């Protein structure tokens, strides 16, 4: 009989699910790390929320562990890489608290617009300051959504019911999906200049960190309301404090902060600022939903091998996994490559399978490709949820198979439509090693390197020498160098494996070289 440890508070109904399915379960909440390390070897499954840290030490001690289930979305408390290396499936419950978080965003919007928190303190102190708390009516105002995924769409639905106009900035949002939601898709600058209120619903990535920077806030309307119930770090907190002090930002409501628990914050005490302690998912209904989901998912995996909402494993049978194994590493890297060069969001994806791989069940491969493709902008996406998320965004996915390949035994090609342009690359597995064999229609053969420099240029004399000199002067060591071109004086590509990250200043110098069209640093 499989045995599961529940290490954080979950609904009692989760225990009922485990026991009714024939899974033995222990509840040990509040364990110290040393205590968890000491006992974890006795369990096949681990169910956690956010308090328990399943780090590399815990995972190293978990000699029997087969699955870790997170009742919630974020897995910052789980070392997914270490779990993957040990063959442990990591699952989350990505949609169990969406409604709750959307409702909390609307609650913060109302609270900020009507200064409810400050008015409550004043009134209960017996002051009755009616003239002090002049609010803002939300009717007919424009709400700008930064991010319009699952939660953002729910916020849009509720805002539209309030008779607000909703505009949205989201690289993944298609025009068709925007029309269906009843929102207007806009670019970021347009949103900043038009919105009476801005609500954030995007993950924290390198691209979204401080998306509301001091410069972005300066572009907003006088008196704008800012709401953040997504992730700390999306807003420059010091810049927001200054804007609240001057009155340029009329009010703000925050549920998340750069440092949590937020015992102290530059925003505390700012004029017209209301704060809550990361309550977005804190309702009885949401906690019940995620607890029941994680119990079902862990039970299914331990009893039947079924995988749902996994961050590190696609849904696939044991026999299929053995046949697909040589191609999993290849398509994961191809997807990551394509995602890193999809600079203007993802409008459509086309995946082509040629040769022997086309005869296999390619659904797991496609799911892996989509997860890798979207992860630069959506780090929480996984191999199971990726196809549904892409469909929800309105991006078109096509998959084609051809049983023969002109040159190779098997070839996988990924095409991504981004900013109205197709980015195309292909790869193969050669002697067990994943290789790039085509980029932008140009043939070349290159190994994947942990850090790679992709350069698109016009093929004219002097470029390679200038590139080598510039990297050498910057003490950047070249590990591999591969070239492809259409013809002399035409389009060419260089894929350069380097031993360290190329600083932005050097990238700008490379872009300034004659005939260079595009420069991108890729990481694998």
Catalytic residues, which ones? 231, 260, 278
Distance from C-alpha of 135 to C-alpha of 373, rounded to nearest angstrom: 44
User: Could you give the CA distance from residue 273 to residue 244 in angstroms, rounded to a whole number?
Assistant: 8
Please tell me whether residue 38 adopts helix, strand or coil conformation: helix
Is omega for the bond preceding 261 within 30 degrees of 0, making it cis? yes
Q: Can you count the helices (H) and strands (E) in the chain?
A: 17, 22
How many C-beta atoms surround the C-beta of residue 433 within 10 A? 12
The DSSP secondary structure of 355-387, one letter per residue, reads: EGGGGS--HHHHHHHHHHHHTTT-TT--TTTHH
Greatest C-alpha distance within the chain: 83
H-assigned helices in 229-362: 237-246, 284-304, 318-340
Taking the C-alpha atoms of residue 57 and residue 60, their distance in angstroms, rounded to an integer, is 5
Report d(CA 181, CA 25) in Å as an integer.
43
Question: Using CA of residue 228, residue 233, residue 238, residue 239, what is the dihedral sign?
Answer: negative
Burial class (CB in 10 A: 0-12, 13-18, 19+), 206: exposed
Of the chain, the end-to-end C-alpha distance in Å amounts to 39
Distances from the Cα of 281 to the Cα of 90, 107, 138, 392, angstroms: 20, 13, 24, 22
C-alpha 24/C-alpha 84 separation (Å) is 24
Quick one: CA dihedral 460, 462, 466, 467, positive or negative? positive
| Distance separating alpha carbons of residues 243 and 144, to the nearest angstrom | 18
Query: How far apart are alpha carbons 13 and 288 in whole angstroms?
Result: 8
Torsion sign, CA atoms 41, 379, 503, 258 = negative
Pairing of the two strands 516-523 and 451-458: antiparallel
Tokens of 193: 């200049």
Percentages (nearest 5) of helix, strand, coil residues in the chain = 35, 25, 40
Q: Which residue has the tokens 């000199």?
A: 469
Measured between alpha carbons, how far is 422 from 350 in angstroms, rounded to an integer? 10
Q: Are 445 and 436 in contact (CB under 8 A)?
A: yes
């Amino acid at each position: 009989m499989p045995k599961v440890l529940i290490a954080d508070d979950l609904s009692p109904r989760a225990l009922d699910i485990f026991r009714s399915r024939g899974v033995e379960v222990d509840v040990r909440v509040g364990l110290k790390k040393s205590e968890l390390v000491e006992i974890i070897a006795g369990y096949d499954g681990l169910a956690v929320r956010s308090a328990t840290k399943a780090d590399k030490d815990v995972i190293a001690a978990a000699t029997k562990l087969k699955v870790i289930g997170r009742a919630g979305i974020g897995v910052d408390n789980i070392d997914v890489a270490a779990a993957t290396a040990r063959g442990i499936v990591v699952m989350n419950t990505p949609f169990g608290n969406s409604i709750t978080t959307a409702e909390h965003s609307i609650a913060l919007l109302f609270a900020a617009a009507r200064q409810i928190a400050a008015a409550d303190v004043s009134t209960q102190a017996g002051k009755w300051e009616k003239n002090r708390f002049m609010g803002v009516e939300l009717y007919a105002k424009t709400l700008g959504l930064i991010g319009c995924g699952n939660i953002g769409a729910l916020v849009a639905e509720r805002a539209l019911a309030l008779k607000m106009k909703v505009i949205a900035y989201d690289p993944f949002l298609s025009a068709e999906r925007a029309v269906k939601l009843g929102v207007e898709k806009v670019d970021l600058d347009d949103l900043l200049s038009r919105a009476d209120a801005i609500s954030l619903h995007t993950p924290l990535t390198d691209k979204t960190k401080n998306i509301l920077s001091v410069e972005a806030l300066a572009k907003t309307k006088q008196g704008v309301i800012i709401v953040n119930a997504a992730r700390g770090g999306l807003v420059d907190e010091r810049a927001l404090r200054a804007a609240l002090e001057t009155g340029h930002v009329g009010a703000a409501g925050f549920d998340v902060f750069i440092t949590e628990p937020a015992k102290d914050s530059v925003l505390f005490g700012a004029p017209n600022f209301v704060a809550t302690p990361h309550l977005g998912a804190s309702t009885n209904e949401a906690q019940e939903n995620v607890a029941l989901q994680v119990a079902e998912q862990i039970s299914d995996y331990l009893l039947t091998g079924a995988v749902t909402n996994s961050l590190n494993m696609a849904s696939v049978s044991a026999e299929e996994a053995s046949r697909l194994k040589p191609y999993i590493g290849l398509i994961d890297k191809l997807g990551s490559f394509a995602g890193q060069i999809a600079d203007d969001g993802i409008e459509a994806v086309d995946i082509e399978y040629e040769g022997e791989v086309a005869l296999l069940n390619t659904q797991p491969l496609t799911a892996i490709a989509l997860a890798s493709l979207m992860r630069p902008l959506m780090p929480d996406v996984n191999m199971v949820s990726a196809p549904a998320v892409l469909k929800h965004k309105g991006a078109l996915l096509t998959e084609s198979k051809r049983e023969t390949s002109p040159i190779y035994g098997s070839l996988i090609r990924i095409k991504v439509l981004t900013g109205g342009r197709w980015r195309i690359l292909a790869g193969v597995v050669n002697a067990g090693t994943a290789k790039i064999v085509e980029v932008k229609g140009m043939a070349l053969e290159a190994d994947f390197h942990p850090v790679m420099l992709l350069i698109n240029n016009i093929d004219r004399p002097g470029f390679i020498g200038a590139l080598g000199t510039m990297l050498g002067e910057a003490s950047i060591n070249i590990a591999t160098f591969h070239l492809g071109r259409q013809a002399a004086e035409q389009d060419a590509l260089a894929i350069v494996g380097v031993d360290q990250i190329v600083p932005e200043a050097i990238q700008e110098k490379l872009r300034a070289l004659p005939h260079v069209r595009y420069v991108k640093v890729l990481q694998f």
